[in-house]
């Protein structure tokens, strides 16, 4: 019995529960070749979006010098981008549940490519807030959450692996585009590089539109009530806060690692390679840790990833210009943050189920967007105010330590949410609900 619903046939162990007001069923297309085509599209979209945005550090010094803006003002471009990159998921997730992922990728492609082209023409950092922050950030935000949710809904048996592969796309994109972008800027300048990235994005995202499709699962009949009920639970609040704090820490190095390293005397190409190392090692974290999540408690692994990031940031604090320590920091951060990001959707599904996943993930990612906005702004202000690299790095250490603490109360079991009685009295297909609370999520014995 799931959601208090009596159904005619028993649901397989580990299968996702039905949406509110729906019966349990198992579409035959789950885990199919079509599902893996969707994964391929999501990998490509993530590589383009994350790879482009996470290459912002390569643009940092050139744009700051041309616009005459300080580190804090320039970092605000990246902060706005990350705010919408993840935060817009609170809007795009429910929209994808309604209209499907193809529509959202198409809209996102127009915003993303248009934002890059417009940024190549701006003459002030204020305009870059609009063209890059809003255009590129909202464009990526149109597909990041929907494609993650779509991937999760296309799978049952291989869900963790599929989510890990999908998440690895962001690491792959960072690995390729971060050093490539730095080379393009040195050769053609930052404006022409934006144009090149727009063309690459237009071609790649057209392929993505052809690959992705709506998952063969029932849509939630009371999506708004489901989302409100989930958002009121303590586990959801803990996930929201931990994601916010982790992002506040994470986007400090993505904004300043290259710049700080160059200021310490590291050559520009080797400094840009550090971001590539984060991306490369994150692939291992995403694939390796999600593979283990089928055998180990994913919530504990999620927490361990956060704790490991504390160690990584302490390495950065001690590194200075010592490239070996900088590289060690990049690798350790990549593995731990990559695992955290890849395990996040699996943890959400284990706690709250697969139905309405786009909306729930979108709200979780909204917290990450807020953290991504706060982190670079605070770190830039600390760097400008103290004239030192230590204060921004210490900020990252404290933020991720608090994020780890926020997850201590999380337990790997389905969450019971309280629902109003009028939402617990009727279900399609003649099902009867029991009581005024329902268990949301997979059943794990």
Q: What is the pLDDT of residue 219?
A: 67
Give the pairing type, strands 415-418 and 437-440. antiparallel
Nearest CA among 142, 373, 335, 375 for reference residue 253: 375
Whole-prediction pTM value? 0.72
Pull the structure tokens for residue 252: 């400090």
Q: What is the pLDDT of residue 54?
A: 84
Mean pLDDT by 10 residues, the chain (445 residues): 34 43 49 91 94 85 82 82 87 86 95 95 90 93 91 85 85 85 90 95 96 80 75 91 93 86 86 84 81 76 93 93 93 91 85 79 87 87 86 94 91 69 35 35 34
Nearest CA among 178, 134, 132, 169 for reference residue 148: 169
The alpha carbon of residue 210 and the mean position of all alpha carbons in its chain are separated, in whole angstroms, by 22
**Domains delineated in the chain:** 34-208+223-440 (1.20.1250.20)
Q: What is the pLDDT of residue 20?
A: 37
Q: What is the pLDDT of residue 221?
A: 62
């Amino acid at each position: 019995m799931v959601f208090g619903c009596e159904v005619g046939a028993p649901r397989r162990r580990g299968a996702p529960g039905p949406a509110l007001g729906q019966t349990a069923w198992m579409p035959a297309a789950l885990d199919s070749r079509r599902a893996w085509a969707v994964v391929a599209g999501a990998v490509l979209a993530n590589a383009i979006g994350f790879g482009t945005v996470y290459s912002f550090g390569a643009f940092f010094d050139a744009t700051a010098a041309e616009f005459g803006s300080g580190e804090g003002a320039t970092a605000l471009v990246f902060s706005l981008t990350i705010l919408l990159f993840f935060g817009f998921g609170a809007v795009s997730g429910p929209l994808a549940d309604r209209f499907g992922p193809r529509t959202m990728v198409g809209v996102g492609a127009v915003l993303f490519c248009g934002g890059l082209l417009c940024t190549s023409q701006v003459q002030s950092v204020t305009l870059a807030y609009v063209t890059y922050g809003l255009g590129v950030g909202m464009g990526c935000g149109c597909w990041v959450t929907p494609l993650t949710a779509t991937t999760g809904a296309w799978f049952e048996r291989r869900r963790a692996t599929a989510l890990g592969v999908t998440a690895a796309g962001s690491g792959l994109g960072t690995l390729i585009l971060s050093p490539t972008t730095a080379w393009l800027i040195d050769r053609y300048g930052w404006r022409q590089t934006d144009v090149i990235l727009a063309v690459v994005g237009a071609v790649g995202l057209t392929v993505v539109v052809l690959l992705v499709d709506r998952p063969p699962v029932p849509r939630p009949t009371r999506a708004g009530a489901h989302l409100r009920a989930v958002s009121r639970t303590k586990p959801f609040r803990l996930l929201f806060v931990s994601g916010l704090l982790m992002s506040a820490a994470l986007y400090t190095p993505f904004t300043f690692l290259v710049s700080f390293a160059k200021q310490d005397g590291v050559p520009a190409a080797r400094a840009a390679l550090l971001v590539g190392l984060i991306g490369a090692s994150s692939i291992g974290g995403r694939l390796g840790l999600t593979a283990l999540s089928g055998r180990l408690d994913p919530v504990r692994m999620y927490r361990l990833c956060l704790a490991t990031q504390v160690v990584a940031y302490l390495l950065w604090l001690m590194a200075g210009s010592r490239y070996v320590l900088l590289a060690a920091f990049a690798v350790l951060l990549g593995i731990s943050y990559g695992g955290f990001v890849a395990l996040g959707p699996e943890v959400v599904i284990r706690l709250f189920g697969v139905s309405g996943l786009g909306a729930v993930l979108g709200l979780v990612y909204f917290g990450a967007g807020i953290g991504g906005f706060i982190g670079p702004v605070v770190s830039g202000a600390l760097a400008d105010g103290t004239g030192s690299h230590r204060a921004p790095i210490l900020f990252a250490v404290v933020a991720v330590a608090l994020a780890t603490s926020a997850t201590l109360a999380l337990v790997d079991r389905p969450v019971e949410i309280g629902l109003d009685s009028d939402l617990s009295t009727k279900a399609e297909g003649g099902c009867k609900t029991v009581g005024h609370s329902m268990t949301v999520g997979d059943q794990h014995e």
